[in-house]
Amino acid sequence: MNKKVALSVLSTAVVASMAASAYAAPQAGVYVGGDVKKFYSTTTLLNLTKEAKAQYAKDLRVGSDNLVFVHINGKGAFFSEIIKDGSAAAFAQPLKKSDFVDLYNVVKPDGTSTETVDAKAKVDGDTPGELKVESVSAANGSQIVIKFNQKVDKATAEDVGNYYQNGAKITTADATPVISEDAKSVTLTFKASQAAKSFTFGVKDVKTEDKKSTVTEFSKTVTFEDTVAPTITKSEFAVTGDLVITFSEPLKAGPAIVRVKGTPVAASVTADGDTKITIPAAALTAAGVTVAGGESAAIYVASVKDLSNNDMAIFNGTVTKVVDNTKPTITSVTQVGQDTLRVVFSEPLGTGDAALVDGEFKFLKGSALNGTASVVTLYAADATGKTYDVKFADAEIYGATPTNTATVTLLLAKDLVKDASGNGIEQFTQTFTFSADKTGPAFVSSKVADDKKSVELTFDEAFKGAAGDVSEAKIVITDANGVRFNAEDATTIGKAGPGNEKVLVVSFTAGGVIPDGVYTIQLQAGAVKDNFDNLSSVASTTVTVGSGSDTTKPVATLDGASTVNKFVVFFGEEVTASALAVANYKLDGAALPAGTTVYFTDTAKNKVAIELPAGSVNFGANPDGSDALLSVSNVADKANNVVNATNLTVKVADNTPAVLQSAQKIGNTLVLTFNEALHATDAADATIAEILTNYDIKVADTSVVAGGGAATATLVAGSNNKVQISFTDITGTGYDATKTVTVTTKASGDLKDANGTAAKADVTVTAN
């Protein structure tokens, strides 16, 4: 609750409290918890000085989620409960010790404090028990009903991520939870039929209505055995004239048989999981069916199945077209921003001119009429469509010389808004006190996002959430090992969607899943600012991703980026420098060759590349290579969990070139000897020109040329590491066997070893 509670709104409750005859502890008044920790008695509230009133308004705003009002009869409740449920329902729940902080400073009418009061000690010790799941049962083939032993918080109860199927979080793609009207049960509707299925269902992290207690973790095997047919629970005419037929459970898509006043009308279940059949007014008219206001019409419905294919029983009944003569009213007005009010109507308004639009909701300040330029927006987080936010000009409220508070009279003229049936509102007036927002957003809570890719921080008020407004440099994230992470500029922003105006999404893993562990997030002053540029205060929070105690070993697998002689090992999580130790890897059972390079492929430190040096492999045909065994062991993650010894099949290829070792002259024939076998096809040359692309042959420092000569080259029979070059015609070549002859291998040739590796170039030998 982030409501600016007006002093005038409290006055009625305070006076009523003083007028009561009974007396019980704790003392009557307002207890402001949180970081404020102040107690204002009912007597003090009626006698506050001007300065003390301003401080009181500020205290209410800062401690808005922790305001407890105690009546003089001893009953009490949080203000949020009184606003939501009304005083009768709120006071029906007994006060608990956990509703109060340990000590409150007792405030005097002048705003000073010289003593404290222990309200907790004065609460009856018979405190209600902890929040528990009373029962979980399958209502039909697609719904589970979870019953709690007390009222639960709507937000956490309708967070689908707090429910588990076989240990895995259920997602919005799987099911939708809806809290009951009494807030003590939740119906979880699956989008696909669960008929004949059985699984372990779990509940955790659901909070009590006051958000002070969390449910004891619960799990149970749930079996769906749906033999119950759907039934009609309600049929009614909407204000639009549409006939809406509501069923007891989700239905299977398909045509339905519907007759109204004995006349068939077109009807169907639109999609699997729908619980209603809606027959538009136009369809009724097209079928010749007319139902007057106040008339009861016979309806017949059949041929409707649930998701487990149970057929409904034939339904014969009546539906009455109710005439709506009830005028809409305003049920509440609360301040949700320095210049913004949230106005709730008793029912949805009509469209067009019937709705609340800009400039219609005004206020009197003194004798001056203000608000003619007010901006109205429908509050999207209210699915009922009954709530509007009205924004006024700041100067109109607080004046040219701003004050901390301003008391005005709110105005909405008669019939200016109407409901869908055309009933206009009566004139509305209410005295209201605005409180200026002089306080920056205060941190309230943190949670890990459902997709585990970010952390969500909730503040006590809306803030500017655009990337340029959030100061990422003032958000410091550190893991349990002291490793610091930077909040990312583009993705550390306000959470999208209605109702998320107070939620900051903090991203620091480049869009990836946050590794399991414990993270501390420190918010420096000014990390965010509200709509009036008030800066947030210093705060710190700790979040746990996964269990927080990492006992899972990294798993070594071969990454798809691996190539011949370069192996990329993926560990599935960040690992330590142990992954860079060459000794933790073996190739075919032997140590990696000297000169092997091992490095992380990126800052995620979950992939290691291993590159074999040139000249380290002398088998495996190029370019595809041959299989070899890479062994991985002793690599640890950040929690010191060590990988199981793993063998991975990798590809290696010969990267050791053949080297010319000697040359021998036998007349006009040269025999060249290499240190390994050569590729026969590449070693064979049919012409002297081809030979000279592989070798530079010199006679007394003069290179042999093709001239008009002829020569061939081929492997020596029975010796695949020897090449025989035979000059059959030396005319014009310059070759002379009587002189010193040298042979040098050339890079331009096609000479390769038996595995296709190019022979080493620039090796020179002298023929003897």
Task: Tell which of 389, 418, 435 closes a domain.
Answer: 435
CA–CA dist 189, 187 (Å, integer): 6
723 and 694, same structural domain? yes
Could you tell me if 539 and 568 lie in one domain? no
289/363 same-domain check:
no
pLDDT recorded at residue 702: 95
State CA 722 to chain mean position distance: 68
Answer yes or no: is pLDDT of 196 > 80.
no
The amino acid present at 569, given as its one-letter code, is V
* Helix and strand numbers, DSSP H then E, in the chain: 10, 55
- 4 contacts: CB under 8 Å, gap ≥ 6: 57, 60, 61, 64, 334, 335, 336, 434, 435, 437
The per-residue pLDDT for 548 is 52
Considering the domain boundaries, does residue 127 fall inside one? no
The candidate with the shortest Cα–Cα distance to 140, out of 248, 233, 64, 276, is: 248
pLDDT tier at 3 (50, 70, 90 boundaries)? very low
* Dihedral (CA of 145, 146, 151, 153) sign: negative
| Whole-number average pLDDT of the chain | 89
In percent, the amount of the chain with pLDDT more than 70 equals: 95
Query: Residue 150 falls within a domain, yes or no?
Result: yes
241 pLDDT more than 80: yes
- Residue 552 belongs to a domain: no
Boundary (domain end) residue, out of 223, 246, 275: 223
Domain count, the chain: 7
**Strand segments (E) across 524-680:** 539-545, 557-558, 566-570, 585-587, 590-591, 597-600, 607-611, 626-632, 646-652, 660-666, 669-674
pLDDT at 228 over 90: no
Whether residue 92 is predicted with pLDDT greater than 90 in this model: the reply is no
The mean pLDDT of 358-375, rounded to a whole number, is: 94
pLDDT computed for residue 743 by the predictor:
97
pLDDT confidence of residue 141: 84
- Indicate the pTM of the whole model: 0.41
Distance CA 445, CA 153 (A): 15
Q: Using CA atoms of 613, 617, 621, 624 in order, give the dihedral in degrees to the nearest 10.
A: -40
Whether residue 61 contacts residue 4, with contact meaning beta carbons closer than 8 Å, is answered with: yes
Is the separation of the CB atoms in 64 and 2 below 8 Å? yes
pLDDT tens, position by position, 644-672: 889 999 999 999 999 999 999 999 999 99
Q: What is the pLDDT of residue 549?
A: 55
1 part of a folded domain:
no
Percent of the chain residues topping a pLDDT of 90? 62
Is the model more confident about 290 or about 9?
290
According to DSSP, the residues that pair with 113 across neighbouring strands are 107
- Give the per-residue pLDDT at 421: 85
DSSP state of 584: G
Question: Phi and psi for 49 in degrees, rounded to 5?
Answer: -70, 170
pLDDT tier at 198 (50, 70, 90 boundaries)? confident
Query: Which residue range forms the structural domain that includes residue 197?
Result: 133-223
Whether 12 and 98 share a structural domain? yes
Q: Examine the domain organization and report whether 468 and 512 are in the same domain.
A: yes
- Is the pLDDT at 6 greater than 60? The verdict is no
Residue 551 is predicted with a pLDDT of 67
Q: What is the pLDDT of residues 321-338, one digit of tens each?
A: 988 889 999 999 999 888
| Predicted confidence (pLDDT) per residue in 471-518, tens digit | 999 999 999 888 999 999 889 999 998 778 899 999 999 888 898 888
Q: What is the CATH number of the domain that holds 417?
A: 2.60.40.1220
2 domain residue, yes or no: no
Statement: residue 301 has pLDDT above 90: yes
Tokens read off for 120: 């907790």
Q: Is the per-residue pLDDT at 123 higher than 80?
A: no
The residue among 677, 767, 754, 676 whose CA lies nearest residue 725 is 767
530-539, 550-559, 743-752: the lowest-pLDDT one: 550-559
User: Is 334 within the bounds of a domain?
Assistant: yes
Q: From 636, 652, 668, give the residue that closes a domain.
A: 652
For residues 389 and 663, give the distance between their C-alpha atoms in angstroms, rounded to a whole number: 96
Task: Say whether pLDDT at 10 is over 50.
Answer: no
Determine the average pLDDT of the residues in 572-582.
Answer: 92
